[in-house]
Amino acid sequence: MEEKREGRGCKGSKPEVAKLTFQLFKIENITVIKPPLLKIYYWEYLDIDKKLSGRQQNIEHNFIIPTSQLNSKPLKIVWWLKNMSKEKLTLQLKRIKNCDCVLKQTRVGVNQFRYLYHCPHRYLVNITQEMIVMNADDLVAMSVIAYFYLFGAYVLTFEMKASDFRKILMHFHINVVAFDPVDCILTHALIPVNIKDFQRIAQPIWICNKTMQSIQVLFKGRERGFRLINPNLVVPLLSVWPLIVEYRPSEFENHLELSLSFNNVRYKVPISCKGFLEQPEPDKEAPTYDYDCADFLYVIYPNKLVFNAEMNEEQFLMVAVHNYNQKCMDFKWQPYVHMISLYNSNNKETNPFSYVISRYFSFSFEPSEFNLKAHHSRLCVVSVRTYDKPLHFKRIPAILEVHRILDKSTQIAKQLLTEVESIDNPKWRQDSFVEHVFLHIDIKVNLPKEKPIIILPEADRQKVIIPLLVPFTKSSRMLNQDLQPGSKKDTQCITVFEKLFWEYLSKSNYMRNTSKIPTNLNYNEVINGFTTMKKGSQTSTYDVDKS
């Protein structure tokens, strides 16, 4: 009977709930194939690792793809999934319909019809794999391809079911525009600034031009402590350009508003900035390494450089460029000719393969052009020179162009037959450009450190010799001549400032009895008092302690 009672348990006791344990996997890295922007713009929304490492059975996350131009090239992003557990893990993916498209009767054969969805949105985001199987410590690639053939903003949802009974809903946000100058602004929040620094710090607002022609925009800002350095900005085609601002926040939370003019039409651009007293937590940073794959053959390691320099300083860092292709390729660091003509047009000594913003910073590459054989690497030195301006620039895109090497006959044909047009499109008409690779650079120029003023107590003050010297006057020379031959003379260097300072004090009306003040006293005699003078002195006896 007792055993039966123990088996049944008490009526008031609660049944024990088994704790769910899930297999751990994460998105370790991403590879963006021929990206129009830096890798950080795609990685900053991949903060799903915190949710995957928790004990939630149903996970939901939003992935935002940067705004793209209508009918632009498809964007391919490779997600590198890693199984962190010691067991086999299976992932199944399927698309979930969340649009208003309805079934339509569709002919599928001779006198055969079916009701099918003719949804134009389903191909905006495409995931090639429907099932992913990962063994212990496996690293598997999952390809996500985004197409930009429909105008507007859309949300596509994919469901991922894991073998550990977890469900992950992934919402892909995609925005396709014709052209909107407000969507060209990539920076919506300035870098946080220390409120203790009583000086404005220069930083960029990045403007992206994804069209095939240059655009000219005009910015205006009327906020206190906010200054635009280059408000009239010309952004070349398919490039990213900085709008340089100098700002010092007055509060912890600041909301600014810029006025943007394009083709005589004004737009309002909200910008936020935070101030801090203690250094905040760093932002989510992308991995500094890239995995090579069939579509990503040219790798820069590390893909990000951080320079923390002082004013008027030059620093050097190195990167390695590796060629995973089977052919020898030509590499060139992209020259910033427009940037030089905009900011530093009078400087004739500027390196054509350098990124220069006059009065702020400049960085150059050595070597600026080189060839790489198949599966070979080359080291490049990146040198940065700063000036007398405090600044904090993040997400500077340095571009390495990859070109195919043309044979000699093709080069001769390009030189001699450029004006000839052929029907069969000969080889010399092809461009040598293949793709470009980004190098992410961050630069911070610190404010000069202020030396603290140390006030010593009276006991220690007597031990310190203060180098305040007396100028050469007639009376001081006479005192030196009247010294005893066995005494030591004080050999002191007298500066122009000290001479003018003592002459000013001797003629000043702020001191009592200026006519009786001797000018032949040294610093210690002035401080301690001097009551007796020699008879041969030109000045009368005067006690500085008496009123």
Mean pLDDT of 306-318: 93
According to the model, what pLDDT value does residue 420 have?
56
Q: pLDDT per residue over 232-289, tens digit each?
A: 988 888 888 899 999 888 788 888 899 999 988 999 999 998 888 887 777 778 888 8
According to the model, what pLDDT value does residue 357 have?
76
Question: Distance from first CA to last CA of the chain, Å, rounded?
Answer: 112
According to the model, what pLDDT value does residue 530 have?
52
pLDDT class of 13 with cuts at 50, 70, 90: very low
H runs (alpha helix) in 218-360: 337-343
Cis peptide before 231 (omega within 30 of 0): no
Is the pLDDT at 307 greater than 90? The verdict is yes
What DSSP line would sit under 401-464, residue for residue?
A: EEEEPPPHHHHHHHHH-TT---TT--GGGS--EEEEEEEEEEEEEPPPPPPPPP---HHHHTTS
Mean pLDDT of 5-10: 45
- In this structure, of 215-219, 453-457, 529-533, the range with the lowest mean pLDDT score is 529-533
According to the model, what pLDDT value does residue 318 have?
94
Is the pLDDT at 324 greater than 70? The verdict is yes
Is the pLDDT at 212 greater than 90? The verdict is no
Cα angle 534, 537, 542; round to 5 = 75
Q: pLDDT per residue over 143-178, tens digit each?
A: 999 999 998 899 999 999 988 888 999 999 999 988
Is the pLDDT at 108 greater than 70? The verdict is yes
- Report how far apart, in Å, the C-alpha atoms of 470 and of each of 77, 130, 474, 494, 511 are: 75, 89, 12, 7, 18
- In this structure, of 95-109, 254-268, 531-545, the range with the lowest mean pLDDT score is 531-545
Q: Which domains, and CATH codes, for the chain?
A: 25-177 (2.60.40.10), 181-276 (2.60.40.10), 298-340+352-408+432-445 (2.60.40.10)
According to the model, what pLDDT value does residue 30 have?
92
According to the model, what pLDDT value does residue 534 have?
44
According to the model, what pLDDT value does residue 448 have?
80
According to the model, what pLDDT value does residue 18 have?
46
According to the model, what pLDDT value does residue 469 have?
43
User: Strands 354-357 and 361-366: what pairing?
Assistant: antiparallel
d(CA 195, CA 199): 9
Q: pLDDT per residue over 170-202, tens digit each?
A: 999 999 988 888 889 999 999 998 887 777 889
Question: Residue 328, Cα to own-chain centre: how many angstroms?
Answer: 32
Is the pLDDT at 490 greater than 80? The verdict is no
Residue-averaged pLDDT of the chain = 78
What DSSP line would sit under 310-343, residue for residue?
A: -TT-EEEEEEEEEE-SSS-EEEEEPP-HHHHHHH
Question: Residue 434, Cα to own-chain centre: how many angstroms?
Answer: 27
According to the model, what pLDDT value does residue 419 have?
56
According to the model, what pLDDT value does residue 305 have?
94
Q: Tokens 């427009």, residue?
A: 338
The one-letter amino acid code at 435 reads E
According to the model, what pLDDT value does residue 155 have?
92
- In this structure, of 78-92, 292-306, 391-405, 463-477, the range with the lowest mean pLDDT score is 463-477
According to the model, what pLDDT value does residue 77 have?
94
Highest mean pLDDT among 49-63, 376-390, 442-456, 497-511: 376-390
Q: pLDDT per residue over 18-29, tens digit each?
A: 455 677 888 899
Mean pLDDT of 413-428: 56
